[in-house]
Amino acid sequence: MIRAHLFDRQNVTDPMFRWRGGDVSRLEGLSDGVFALALTMLVIRSDVPQSFHELLEAAIALPVFLVCFAMLMLAWRYHCMFFRRYGLQDLPTTVLNSAYLFLVIFLVFPLKFLATFLYAVMRGEPTRQMFAERTDLVPELAQRCGMMQFYALAILGVFGVQFLMLVWAWRLRHRLELDRLERFLTLASMGAHAITCGIAALSLLVVSVWRNPGFAGVTYFLMPILHPAYGVWVGVRSQRIYDELEGGKVSDG
């Protein structure tokens, strides 16, 4: 019975949540293949260095790849935990997962372009050449704004679909027999994605209304402020519920 007590189904990776996913499903296998393709796309346009100078240039550009790699691995981690925790393979999950994978592929090039741009700014290098082509058709400011709009929409899509997948799992909470702690962690995950989507929406609003791509980029610095604070609150609250369940102080409703 899946109703077995939480503490009889602990695992080292996720000790506060029972894993309902068993062996890797075909849906998860396909998803892993798409993530592998997305990681390949980050370097597919890079040529093998033919000289030490080219090797040095590749090493200097390594932080760009590292940032993009970390973002994709974060998306993969969220995806992996969803299927391990809930084990869903129904039609709505399949449709949402397909949209999620499409958006992950969509995110790769805007993410790489923006990371390259920001890294050039940090190093004090000129970035005009990234926007100079056909300024007679699309002004440079419009191109910079478009870059930020493209990125914000990609973030909204990826994490918005992940939010919807969690909403679907929440609707099935009784069938999945989520206990009190698992329900809280599900809502907490939804809250984390809502924060990410809210920041991306704010950035999109700034760049669309005020036409200020620089300030639109600065709004993303809210993430390392809001997410850790929210994570601390979730950690404290979940530990409290965990201790209450372990001590049998409240019923597992």
Segment 106-122, tens digit of pLDDT? 888 888 887 777 777 77
pLDDT in tens, 197-244: 999 999 999 999 988 888 888 898 899 999 999 999 999 999 999 998
- Where does the pLDDT of residue 135 fall: very low under 50, low under 70, confident under 90, or very high at 90 and above? low
Q: Which of 157, 152, 169 is nearest to 102 (CA)?
A: 157
Is residue 117 domain-resident? Answer: yes
Is residue 252 domain-resident? Answer: no
Higher pLDDT, residue 13 or 177: 177
pLDDT in tens, 163-204: 999 999 999 999 999 999 999 999 999 999 999 999 999 999
Task: Find the domain containing 42 and state its range.
Answer: 20-247
Q: Where are the alpha helices (DSSP H) in the chain?
A: 26-43, 52-60, 62-86, 91-122, 140-171, 173-176, 180-205, 213-218, 223-247
Is residue 56 domain-resident? Answer: yes
Neighbours of 53 (CB within 10 A): 9
- Where does the pLDDT of residue 5 fall: very low under 50, low under 70, confident under 90, or very high at 90 and above? very low
Domain count, the chain: 1
Is residue 103 domain-resident? Answer: yes
> What integer pLDDT is reported at residue 209 of this predicted model?
92
Is residue 3 domain-resident? Answer: no
Is residue 141 domain-resident? Answer: yes
pLDDT in tens, 33-89: 988 888 888 776 556 666 666 667 667 777 777 888 888 888 899 999 999 999 999
The answer to whether the beta carbons of residues 28 and 203 sit under 8 Å apart is: no
pLDDT over 50 (residue 14): yes
pLDDT over 70 (residue 15): yes
pTM for the full predicted model: 0.84
Residues above pLDDT 70, as percent of the chain:
82
Q: Which two tokens stand for residue 55?
A: 């090797």
